[in-house]
Amino acid sequence: MNIHEYQAKELFDRFQVPSPKGAVASTPEEAAEAARQFAGAKLVIKAQVHAGGRGKGHFKNGFQGGVHLIESPEQAAEFAGKMLNETLVTVQTGDAGKLVSKVMVAEAVDITHEYYLAILMDRATAGPVIVVSTEGGMSIEDVAHNTPEKIVRQFVHPVLGLQAYEVRKLTAALGLSGDLAKQFGKLLSNLYKLFISCDCAMVEINPLVTTPDGRVLALDAKFGFDDNALYRHPDIVAMRDKTEEDPREVAASEYDLNYIGLDGNIACLVNGAGLAMATMDIIKHYGGDPANFLDVGGGASKEQVTAAFKIILADPNVKGILINIFGGIMDCNVIAEGVIAAAKETGLPIPLVVRLEGNNVEKGKATLAASGLNIVSADTMADGAQKIVAAVG
């Protein structure tokens, strides 16, 4: 789950992580009011979409750029009017673009130096790791590749939490001293609290900046949350903006299905994440192109299978379906009934290959065979993949 820039600022404000002054606006009037509130500061207005590349993007109404300097409240209102309820296209949105329903008016800060700061959950040490670099404002992957010595990591004890000496080490690694060091230390401690309190998987600030007037600010942030922990964070769940997500994935999530849309034309419906990935791999191996990852989970109901089927068929690129179920937890017959119910409802306009194995497989296969539907049965994964690739052509 991603959040908007203005929502990241809300989280920063709540945990006292300093960031540039700013306010969110849904109307030109609100944008003007925000500009008046910060009068005296150099201001910028930014369209709120999850995609990057906003500055160089364009709106479908012809207006250029999703980020602009503004000089007056009137100009804030004018630009907001051209951005709000319009569609912004950037290198990351695809041609369809993203509808802008909010803009942020924020202080445009002057920068002395750009740093990198992130906190991640590290698998190997089973605890948080803090990553800092003096090389901020660029891709951390590039820094890691070109100048790995400029990335400093500090592992944090999973239960003891962030220690003062760890903060001092990281401060020293960034070469900060005096009041800037003090500000950074406070920012880092507060960011760590945010990371733990909100069950984050990742918080990345790039860049973290120092300013000529002696401030340390989080200029741009990216958040990743642990999906498993969202149940205890209704406030974060409320930040979800479904209009930013792939509609197929939104529909899938409503049925607790694990779906990721891809660009190919062979859809797959599989139980278990590992098998779902392997099914995509084997389709590719035999010359096909998977249209999605779809894990119906261990205990899927008939309703979920029907929903999964509909989501798959709603994708106009899909020219064939491979169902691959190894029923351990799952009853093969439940899958069979779900498939038949769905196929009857949708009419099954494209080839369907089904490979069932495991729990109650005989009954599942019998149910499919008795359905009278045009379903091709497969015995192994390889058999199923070859059959669907051949059917799609």
Partner 1 sequence: MSILVDENTKLLVQGITGSFGARHASLSLAYGTKLVAGVTPGKGGQKFEDQVPIFDTVSQAVNETGATASAIFVPPPFAADAILEAADAGVELIVCITEGIPVMDMMRVKDALRGSKSRLIGPNCPGLVTPGYGDKSYGGCRIGITPSQICKRGNVGVVSRSGTLTYEAVFQLTQLGYGQSTLVGIGGDPINGTNHQEILEMFNNDPETEAIILIGEIGGSAEVDAARWAKEHCKKPIAGFIAGATAPPGRRMGHAGAIVGGEEDTAQAKKRILAECGIAVAETPSDMATTLLERWGK
Which of the residues are catalytic? 116, 204
Residue 348 binds partner 1, judged by CB under 8 A = no
3-state secondary structure of 113: strand
- Of residues 41 and 202, the one with the C-beta less far from partner 1: 202
Residue 149 binds partner 1, judged by CB under 8 A = no
The DSSP string of 243-302 is GGS-HHHHHHHHTT-EEEE-SSSEEEEESSHHHHHHHHHHHHHTT--B-EEEE--SS--H
Q: Write the DSSP symbol of residue 238.
A: T
Asked if 25 and 44 count as a contact pair (C-beta separation under 8 A), the reply is no
Instruction: Kindly state the tokens that stand for 266.
Output: 């062979």
Task: Show Cβ contacts of residue 57 under 8 Å, excluding neighbours closer than 6 positions.
Answer: 47, 65, 66, 88, 89, 90, 91, 93
> Which of 111, 152, 262, 341 touches partner 1 (CB under 8 A)?
262
> Which of 117, 180, 208, 276 touches partner 1 (CB under 8 A)?
276
Q: How far is the CB of 259 from partner 1 (least distance, A)?
A: 10
Q: Does the bond joining 158 to the residue before it have cis omega, within 30 degrees of 0? A: no
Residue 232 binds partner 1, judged by CB under 8 A = yes
Per CB under 8 A, which region of 26-34, 93-101, 236-244, 321-329 contacts partner 1? 321-329
> Which of 57, 327, 338, 364 touches partner 1 (CB under 8 A)?
327
- Of residues 70 and 282, the one with the C-beta less far from partner 1: 282
Residue 123 binds partner 1, judged by CB under 8 A = yes
Q: How far is the CB of 137 from partner 1 (least distance, A)?
A: 17
Q: How far is the CB of 284 from partner 1 (least distance, A)?
A: 5
Per CB under 8 A, which region of 15-23, 53-61, 78-86, 289-297 contacts partner 1? 289-297
Residue 245 binds partner 1, judged by CB under 8 A = no
Planar angle of CA 248, 252, 256, nearest 5 degrees: 165
Residue 271 binds partner 1, judged by CB under 8 A = yes
Task: Show Cβ contacts of residue 190 under 8 Å, excluding neighbours closer than 6 positions.
Answer: 15, 16, 17
Q: Which residue has the tokens 């065979």?
A: 369
Residue 226 binds partner 1, judged by CB under 8 A = yes
- Count of all residues that appear for the chain in the document: 393
Binding to partner 1 (CB under 8 A): which residues in 62-91?
none
Task: Show Cβ contacts of residue 305 under 8 Å, excluding neighbours closer than 6 positions.
Answer: 269, 296, 334, 335, 337, 338, 339, 341, 342
Cα separation, 191 vs 23, whole angstroms: 21
> Which of 40, 95, 96, 124 touches partner 1 (CB under 8 A)?
124
- Of residues 210 and 386, the one with the C-beta less far from partner 1: 386
Residues forming the site for partner 1 (CB under 8 A): 118, 120-124, 126-128, 131, 140-141, 144, 157-159, 196, 199, 201-202, 224, 226-229, 231-232, 258, 260, 262, 270-285, 290, 293, 295, 298-299, 326-329, 357-359, 380-383, 385
